[in-house]
Amino acid sequence: MKKPVLVINTGSSSIKFAVYEPDGGGFKLRHKGVVEEIGREPFYTLRDGEGKELSSCRLEDGTRTHDECFGWLEGRLGEILPEDGPSSVGHRVVHGGTGFTGPALIDGGVVERLSELEPLAPLRQPYNVSGIRAMMKAYPGAPNVACFDTSFHRTQPELAQMFGLPMEYYESGVVRYGFHGLSYEYVLSRLGEISPETAAGRVVTAHLGAGASMCATLGGKSVATTMGFTALDGLPMGTRSGGIDPGVIFYLQREKGMTADEVEGFLYKKSGLLGISGLSSDMRDLEASAAPGARLAVDYFAYRIVRETGSLAAALGGLDALVFTAGIGENSALVREKVCAGLSWLGIELDGEANSRNDLVVSAGKSRVRVYAIPTDEELVIAIETTNMISA
């Protein structure tokens, strides 16, 4: 039996992992787990490949930091991995800058380069790097591979990556990087299996979760996206503001007395759906609430998706398909209904019953634009890219 691939996705308050076993020409998910609430009271959950919970527990007192949680998790991974560890470890890395245009085999030099990018993604990149260091120490015989959220968008034309700043800044790396590339890569591959002709056409994909962005693709290649230099731009998100007039930042500093760090925390952690609703960052809570603020947050979220879809369709010169994915995109019939109603001018017609069931195809047969709800699987993409990299 071939050794499995371990996938690690380290966030600011969680460590997610997945174990994939080579199966013929593909992979079979064997285990999936998470340590969440890191920094508070970390909690561990392990599930099998079918989603059945196998075990769960609160971590012992004194285990709070990422390093401590990785040390604790190593023992649990030892229970589900071969005695000599995994064949390889694939890592989700949020930011690859302009230098990483595809997966990278990790060595000390790569780790240092990734650390240098931490100012561009301060809420995620440091934890991605800490996860890499932890796994290199835990499994010194297994190659580690970095898979980037930004790489998918490096096919965009120069105009789509620019800001209206002097070119010296563009040349030094102040560009629209775009994110969620691993999700877009997976969804486009699935769409290619479902309808190759559609996947090769003008497609807008909406990755809607706690973090949210959209991407326009032509021939399966990224043409434009909503996130920019950081993962703060574009759509409003669970706690992030999304696109905002830069002048608001000056106002918050000069008139409200906020420091740069306070503004950053405000826009990243206290805005978006949480800030508008005053209730929750979770779309499920907002849809279940009758509070005016909750309804306003849902409406604003859908409105911004409609606006961005129009912009991305313009970049494509038309639209053949709209794809919803990630937690909200896959499961919120209400959000899809509101968005598609706002895009009726594009010829989109929703099938109400299919939408309520979260079917794969949710558009009506007569809709000029096909609308899909496709579950994403970023971990599987990482497993594939990791294996391909070490086999090359």
| Per-residue pLDDT at 310 exceeds 90 | yes
Q: Which residues contact 134 (CB under 8 A, 6 or more apart)?
A: 66, 67, 70, 71, 74
Higher pLDDT, 282 or 2: 282
Euclidean distance between CA atoms 281 and 284, whole angstroms: 9
Euclidean distance between CA atoms 229 and 233, whole angstroms: 8
Q: 149 catalytic, yes or no?
A: yes
| Per-residue pLDDT at 150 exceeds 60 | yes
How are beta strands 104-105 and 144-148 bridged, if at all? antiparallel
- The shares of helix, strand and coil residues in the chain, as percent rounded to the nearest 5, are 45, 20, 35
Inter-residue contact 136 to 106 (CB < 8 Å): yes
Domains of the chain listed by start with CATH number: 5-148 (3.30.420.40), 196-378 (3.30.420.40)
| Per-residue pLDDT at 1 exceeds 60 | no
Euclidean distance between CA atoms 366 and 351, whole angstroms: 10
Selecting among 23, 61, 84, 149, the annotated active-site residue is 149
- pTM summary value: 0.92
Mean of all residue pLDDT scores within the chain: 94
| Per-residue pLDDT at 369 exceeds 70 | yes
pLDDT value of position 392: 66
Tell me if residue 18 falls in helix, strand or coil. Answer: strand
| Per-residue pLDDT at 267 exceeds 80 | yes
The amino acid present at 102, given as its one-letter code, is: G
Would you tell me how many other CB atoms lie within 10 Å of the CB of residue 302?
Answer: 21
| Per-residue pLDDT at 390 exceeds 60 | yes
pLDDT value of position 24: 79
In this structure, the chain runs to a length of 392
Tens digit of each residue's pLDDT (9 = 90 or more) over 327-360 = 999 999 999 999 999 999 999 999 999 999 999 9
